[in-house]
Amino acid sequence: MKIVVAGTGYVGLVTAVCLAEVGHTVTCVDVDKEKIELLNQGKTPIYEPGLEELMNKNKDKLTYTLESKKAYKNAEVIFIGVGTPEKKDGSANLKYVYEVAKEIAESIRNDCVIVLKSTVPIGTNKKIEKFIKTNLANKNLKVELVSNPEFLSQGTAVRDTLNAQRIVIGVKSKHAENIMKKVYDDFGQPYVITDRQSSEMIKYASNDFLALKIAYINEIANLCEIVGANIQDVSKGMGMDNRIGNKFLNAGIGYGGSCFPKDTKALNWLANFNDYEIKTIKAAIEVNENQKLKLIKKARKHYDSFEGLNVAVLGLTFKPNTDDLREAPSLVNIPILLEDGAKIKAYDPAGVKNFKKIYPKEIEYVKDPKQALKDADICFIFTEWDEIKNIEPTTFKELMKTPLVYDGRNIFDLKEMKDAEVDYFSIGR
């Protein structure tokens, strides 16, 4: 099929490349000239393992262009995968979705199915369809909006898309359902076919459930610390019950990323807007905000102030295998350390380039975790990169001035750290 994908971010580009992998001819459009140039050179503008290889493998089926209107003209299916960032009030900003919708309305020459992949508030598909119909240059054309939320995780996006556990499709007509099956049948994944509002809700409800699960395990971890239990054993014991499941039960310094923080706030906003109080999600948001400050509060019991201290920061990104910093715990903690007057040496395998855009000079960035640890008075771990997990416990003792480690990801074994004579503090153990 001839498919156009609008937006070459995590969702758009991964979708496009995976659609090409199953045999479709895909044109990717974006307004960002730099991104399109990179893509045309066979390079991905985002850090995502396996994506560049798959993109180059399917290069005959993929085109990248700034000329969106030309691309939309004869498309059979158009995917919208642009961002829906958070507004100040917590609601989703649909500005980019509307911009694409307007261009589509002005340029299509054939009947067309438009697939909304971006995470959007319940009711958006209906509204965008009405908007496109009102703005259609050729009023005789038939367009239908289809909701098809994306569940990929950054760092495993290609694998998640090619092996998705379900494809959720929200449609108004059998015609659109059949077109979507033509798009997706070769993925061989189970369908959930529903109306558009339910499909939109599945996305928010799924993401927010996972955020809730993390907030819950983090609260249990906090309680474990108080009563002398070990959260890792508690998680293991809980996770073996398959009604609970063993995923997303890792306690830590809180969730970040482009989805959970945004989608919890968006659902809370939506509930408020409809005069409903969604207490569970509200609680998750609050728990997560406090959790991000957990380590620094603990460390303040040791040092009243971080002024003049050499601080090693290991991990800047919101999770491993991504260069994304959005809502990362590092972004909450580093300003506090800097404000106190700490001298920070930071290590991250992929996040430094983006972090430098925010803190170009205030921090010294190092290429090896050992350089950060050398002569440090204290170490904070914010991300569980393999490069950090692989540090030998004895290294902290050997290199640091004071072997004092605050680990927000529960990477190290308590006994091994004790044997290595490291003062080690983690979450819920």
Instruction: From the candidates 18, 28, 224, 259, give the one annotated as an active-site residue.
Output: 259
Write phi, then psi, for 81 (nearest 5 degrees): -130, 40
The piece of 32-40, 145-153, 348-356, 359-367 that touches ligand UDX (CB under 6 A) is 145-153
Asked if residue 148 binds ligand UDX (CB under 6 A), the reply is no
Provide the 3-class DSSP secondary structure of residue 264.
helix
Give the one residue of 51, 176, 259, 299 binding ligand UDX; rule: CB under 6 A.
259
| Contact by Cβ (8 Å): 221, 427 | yes
Smallest distance from the beta carbon of 41 to ligand UDX, in angstroms?
Answer: 26
Smallest distance from the beta carbon of 151 to ligand UDX, in angstroms?
Answer: 4
Find the binding residues for ligand UDX in span 272-301 (CB under 6 A).
Answer: none
| Contact by Cβ (8 Å): 7, 80 | yes
Residue 87 is given by DSSP the state P
Asked if residue 397 binds ligand UDX (CB under 6 A), the reply is no
Q: In angstroms, how far is CA 349 from the centroid of its own chain?
A: 18
Smallest distance from the beta carbon of 119 to ligand UDX, in angstroms?
Answer: 8
Smallest distance from the beta carbon of 48 to ligand UDX, in angstroms?
Answer: 10
Smallest distance from the beta carbon of 150 to ligand UDX, in angstroms?
Answer: 6
Instruction: Give the Cα separation of 159 and 153 in Å (integer).
Output: 9
62/259 with CB nearer ligand UDX: 259
What is the separation, in whole angstroms, between the first and last Cα of the chain? 53
207/268 with CB nearer ligand UDX: 207
237/308 with CB nearer ligand UDX: 237
Smallest distance from the beta carbon of 254 to ligand UDX, in angstroms?
Answer: 6
Instruction: Give the Cα separation of 91 and 138 in Å (integer).
Output: 33
216/359 with CB nearer ligand UDX: 216
Asked if residue 152 binds ligand UDX (CB under 6 A), the reply is yes
Asked if residue 86 binds ligand UDX (CB under 6 A), the reply is no
CA–CA distance from 53 to each of 159, 167, 264 (Å)? 13, 24, 34
Identify the H or E element spanning 2. strand 2-6
Asked if residue 81 binds ligand UDX (CB under 6 A), the reply is no
Instruction: Give the Cα separation of 356 and 416 in Å (integer).
Output: 34
What lies within 8 Å, CB to CB, of 246 at 6+ separation is: 235, 236, 238, 239, 240
25/153 with CB nearer ligand UDX: 153
254/403 with CB nearer ligand UDX: 254
165/274 with CB nearer ligand UDX: 165
Q: Is 259 a catalytic residue?
A: yes
Instruction: Give the Cα separation of 231 and 83 in Å (integer).
Output: 36
Asked if residue 269 binds ligand UDX (CB under 6 A), the reply is no
For 227, the token pair is: 């009563």
210/399 with CB nearer ligand UDX: 210
What would the x/- binding string for ligand UDX be over residues 169 to 208, using CB under 6 A?
Answer: --------------------------------------x-
Asked if residue 256 binds ligand UDX (CB under 6 A), the reply is yes
Provide the 3-class DSSP secondary structure of residue 364.
strand
Q: Which of 174, 176, 206, 175 is nearest to 114 (CA)?
A: 176
What sections of 58-156 are H helices per DSSP? 68-73, 95-107, 124-135
Q: Is 341 exposed, middle or buried (0-12, 13-18, 19+ CB in 10 A)?
A: exposed
Asked if residue 47 binds ligand UDX (CB under 6 A), the reply is no
Give the one residue of 81, 170, 257, 315 binding ligand UDX; rule: CB under 6 A.
257
Torsional sign, CA 426, 289, 214, 280: positive
Find the binding residues for ligand UDX in span 300-329 (CB under 6 A).
Answer: 318-319
Residues that contact ligand UDX, how many (by CB under 6 A)? 19
What would the x/- binding string for ligand UDX be over residues 209 to 248, using CB under 6 A?
Answer: -x---x---------------------------------x
Instruction: Give the Cα separation of 54 and 132 in Å (integer).
Output: 33
Provide the 3-class DSSP secondary structure of residue 381.
strand
Provide DSSP, 16-30: HHHHHHTT-EEEEE-
Asked if residue 359 binds ligand UDX (CB under 6 A), the reply is no
In the complex, the residues that contact ligand UDX under the rule CB under 6 A are 150-154, 207, 210, 214, 248-250, 252, 255-257, 259-260, 318-319
Active site residues per annotation: 259
